[in-house]
Amino acid sequence: MSTDVLAAVAAEPGVPKPNPILVVDDVRRTFGGLVAVDVRHLEVERGTITSLIGPNGAGKTTLFNCLTGFDRPQAGYWAFDGHRLEGRFAYQIPRYGLVRTFQLTKALDRLTVMENMLLASRGNRGERLLGALLRPSWRHTEDAARQRAERLLETFELTRMGHDLAGTLSGGQRKLLEMARALMTEPAAILLDEPMAGVNPRLRQTLCEHIEGLRDGGLTVFLIEHDMDVVMGISDWVVCMAEGNVISEGPPAVVRADPAVVDAYLGSHDGLAPVDERESHEDETS
Amino acid sequence: MDVLNVFLDAIRVAIGPQAAVFALAGVGLNLQFGYAGLLNFGQVAFMLAGAYGASMTVDAGGPLWLGILVGMAAALVVAMLFGLPALRLRADYLAIVTISVGEIIRLLVRSSTLEPVTNGVFGYRDFAAWFYAINPIPAGRYGVGNLAFPARTLWLIVVAWTLVLLASLLVLGLMRSPWGRVVRGIREDEDAVRSLGKNVFMYKLQALALGGLMGALAGSLRAIDSQAVRPDFFLTITTFMIYAAVILGGAGTIIGPTIGAMALWFVISFSEGLLRLGIESGVIEFLDPEDVAAIRFMIVGLALILLVVFRPQGLAGKPEAGLLDEH
Ligand SMILES: Nc1ncnc2c1ncn2[C@@H]1O[C@H](COP(=O)(O)OP(=O)(O)OP(=O)(O)O)[C@@H](O)[C@H]1O
Ligand SMILES: [Mg+2]
């Protein structure tokens, strides 16, 4: 377990880590007058599960979007595995070993589950227009990709669905597929945006085990999650954002008890309790 | 004229050069729209490039086969004009750019300023002698009754449908390759494909250009068929007719554009023939013969509406493909 690595790290925002894979500096994204993200310094330790929490609208998704080239911050820079990534296009990011999933699941509906997986494979020679018609030139990479896909589908219990169109999967299965598909890119780190949303409790347990398995296999997992039970259960480290800033970080229990975190949630009428925060969100309007 | 002859006439049109031209342009549009999800509303501009490439090259003293290649090269330029400004933006911007750039190209070609280069509104005539000179089919009429073609038309039909077949096989091969998988993925959700490390822009540009090359070939064929090229042959309405053919046949299927083009021309010709027959024989009294040309398009429109309601996946599409769209 990599928790030990972080045992000596102080629980304070922006604290340096022994072996960070992702280092974020002064990233600022505003929409008109609204400061969506304003992160001074943030490090994510390699080989850990780090959770990003915070009330609705805290800027978590926007931070992910900036880091992965889906949004352009007005300022800031960040490095992944020693490579500076600011200014890169979204499609270039996975080449550095960084891949993300989306808060609103993006299954490719009219492709089969297996096609969804194969599409994500790396260095597939048949993906070049010249050569696409020469099956012998790409059969080798395609077969290798298929083997990897079959292993991943088995891990995520999707083998049975391989030939089904992804559009026919249930919401939870789509989440699983999206995660498995991201892993096809052979990443060093994966950013998951609310992987548990809409997933039933039994499957949540399984999904948590998968994520821990990935971490134990050496992958870095940086995930946004609202379910406090999940966050407390699987995180090696927790980062809390509010109004664009990192207001707290540390081991799960420490962050949970941090008055700044409690304040942030109370201030947003979200509540830290493991109830669905969307219920309390409705109180706001009433 | 009786109903059988009207029917045979309609079959003749459905397998004739016009239908083949629509099918070929449709195979290209289907690659762009049906598989890559690109809203290209300027397919007719690719056809214009093919037609003018052929006729202008011959007019300048070059051979027709070179002209066809020039037309294809011009189509690549059109693809850049469409794609570079709009492919990075949201899907609907491509629709706006293609429809307007397509019109701009046509208006430039017909303008007085460019008349020394393009012959303006007059265009070109009789530039395809070479094509008919190499016709290996002996002179004569082939077929029975109303369903017969002279040798020169038959030659064009054979060449045109062969090109449709080759283009369809090319699309089939590509769609079964990893390249086609990425392209179909882009149609579903381009951000997802981007997040998996694919250069979505390049794939879209390639699909647009490849479909445009087929459009250019179709344009050359159209020019060869009529032995005449004028800017006003290339109105945006033609793009919409090709859309009608693709959707009728089944967007995102291999044979959809071919079936759709045949069905479209069959419906146009058959309804026209029946209306004329009805008027001549006195069964239909309330219609003026001059309105027939307009009414047949209304019938096509009605057929399309019925199809969209009862068979949204098109004649050749699989039912589940239509249902999934409702997500
Ligand atoms: N494209 C945009 N245009 C304008 N405002 C935006 C845009 N994207 C995000 N915002 C704003 O930025 C803020 C942060 O949004 P973001 O989606 O990052 O929050 P979040 O922490 O992911 O919330 P949630 O937990 O609800 O998903 C919000 O106030 C949101 O309204
Ligand atoms: Mg979010």
What SS3 class is residue B206? Answer: helix
Average pLDDT over residues A142-164: 94
Report pLDDT digits (tens) over B307-324.
888 888 888 887 655 545
Atom of ligand 1 nearest to the CA of A32: 4
Q: Is the pLDDT of residue A146 over 60?
A: yes
Q: Which ligand is nearest to the CA of A60?
A: 1
Average pLDDT over residues A249-273: 80
- pLDDT band per the 50, 70, 90 thresholds, residue B17: very high
Domain segments of chain B: what residues? 2-310
**A20/chain B closest Cα distance in angstroms:** 23
Report pLDDT digits (tens) over B219-248.
999 999 999 999 999 999 999 999 999 999
Nearest-by-Cβ selection for A100 from B189, B195, B252: B195
Pairing relationship of beta strands A83-84 and A237-242 according to DSSP bridges: unpaired
| Tokens encoding A55 | 């009330």
Average pLDDT over residues B163-187: 97
pLDDT of A60: 95
Q: Is the pLDDT of residue A286 over 50?
A: no
Average pLDDT over residues B198-220: 97
pLDDT of A29: 96
Q: Is the pLDDT of residue A14 over 90?
A: no
Nearest-by-Cβ selection for B184 from A111, A120, A182: A111
* Least confident residue range of A254-268, B18-32, B33-47: A254-268
- pLDDT band per the 50, 70, 90 thresholds, residue B164: very high
**Interchain contact A124–B (C-beta under 8 A):** yes
The neighbouring-strand residues paired with B125 are B228
pLDDT of A272: 54
- The residue whose CA is least distant from atom 29 of ligand 1 is A57
pLDDT of A207: 87
**A162/chain B closest Cα distance in angstroms:** 15
Cα–Cα distance for residue pair A156/A173, rounded to 1 Å: 9
**A56/chain B closest Cα distance in angstroms:** 23
Average pLDDT over residues B62-76: 97
Asked if B196 lies within 8 A of A181 by C-beta distance, the reply is yes
CA of B222 to the centre of ligand 1 (A): 53
pLDDT of B324: 52
Asked if B177 lies within 8 A of A138 by C-beta distance, the reply is yes
Q: Does residue A278 have its Cβ closer than 6 Å to ligand 1?
A: no
Q: Is the pLDDT of residue A238 over 50?
A: yes
pLDDT of B171: 97
* Least confident residue range of A204-213, B40-49, B225-234: A204-213
Asked if A90 lies within 8 A of B181 by C-beta distance, the reply is no
Cα–Cα distance for residue pair B288/B298, rounded to 1 Å: 15
Nearest CA in chain B to A94: B197
**A243/chain B closest Cα distance in angstroms:** 26
Cα–Cα distance for residue pair B235/B102, rounded to 1 Å: 9
Q: Does residue A71 have its Cβ closer than 6 Å to ligand 1?
A: no
Give exposure, B75-95, as e/b (b: 16+ Cβ within 10 Å): bbebbebbbeebbeeeeeebb
Atom of ligand 1 nearest to the CA of A59: 18
Atom of ligand 1 nearest to the CA of A71: 1
Asked if A110 lies within 8 A of B321 by C-beta distance, the reply is yes
Asked if A99 lies within 8 A of B196 by C-beta distance, the reply is yes
Q: Which ligand is nearest to the CA of A277?
A: 1
Query: Regarding predicted confidence, which is higher, A108 or A2?
Result: A108
Q: Is the pLDDT of residue A9 over 90?
A: no
* Least confident residue range of A53-57, A141-145, A202-206, A270-274: A270-274
Average pLDDT over residues A229-238: 93
pLDDT of A281: 40
pLDDT of B321: 56
User: Which chain residues have CB less than 5 Å from ligand 2, an ion?
Assistant: A 61, 103
- pLDDT band per the 50, 70, 90 thresholds, residue A268: low
Q: Is the ipTM of this complex over 0.85?
A: yes
- The residue whose CA is least distant from atom 2 of ligand 1 is A31
- The residue whose CA is least distant from atom 25 of ligand 1 is A56
What SS3 class is residue A260? Answer: helix
pLDDT of B29: 98
**Interchain contact B177–A (C-beta under 8 A):** yes
Q: Does residue A147 have its Cβ closer than 6 Å to ligand 1?
A: no
Considering Cα of A107, then A113, then A114, then A115, what sign does the dihedral take? negative
What SS3 class is residue A142? Answer: helix
Nearest-by-Cβ selection for B178 from A99, A126, A182: A126
Q: Does residue A211 have its Cβ closer than 6 Å to ligand 1?
A: no
pLDDT of B279: 87
Interface test with A, best of B196, B200, B206 (most A CBs within 10 A): B196
Query: Regarding predicted confidence, which is higher, A123 or B321?
Result: A123
pTM value?
0.91
% chain A with pLDDT above 90: 73
Q: Which fold has domain B2-310?
A: ABC transporter involved in vitamin B12 uptake, BtuC (1.10.3470)
**B247/chain A closest Cα distance in angstroms:** 17
Does residue B200 contact residue A91 with C-beta atoms inside 8 Å? Answer: yes
Report pLDDT digits (tens) over B252-282.
999 999 999 999 999 999 998 998 888 888 8
Q: Is the pLDDT of residue B326 over 50?
A: no
Query: Regarding predicted confidence, which is higher, A203 or A245?
Result: A245
CA of A105 to the centre of ligand 1 (A): 17
Q: Is the pLDDT of residue A120 over 80?
A: yes
Report pLDDT digits (tens) over A35-76.
999 999 999 999 999 999 999 999 999 999 999 999 999 999
- pLDDT band per the 50, 70, 90 thresholds, residue A276: very low
Category of A43 on φ-ψ map: left (φ > 0), alpha (ψ -120 to 50) or beta: beta
For chain B, give the mean pLDDT.
92
| Tokens encoding A219 | 């992958």
- The maximal CA–CA distance of chain A, rounded, in angstroms, is 64
Does residue A244 contact residue A38 with C-beta atoms inside 8 Å? Answer: yes
Q: Does residue A244 have its Cβ closer than 6 Å to ligand 1?
A: no
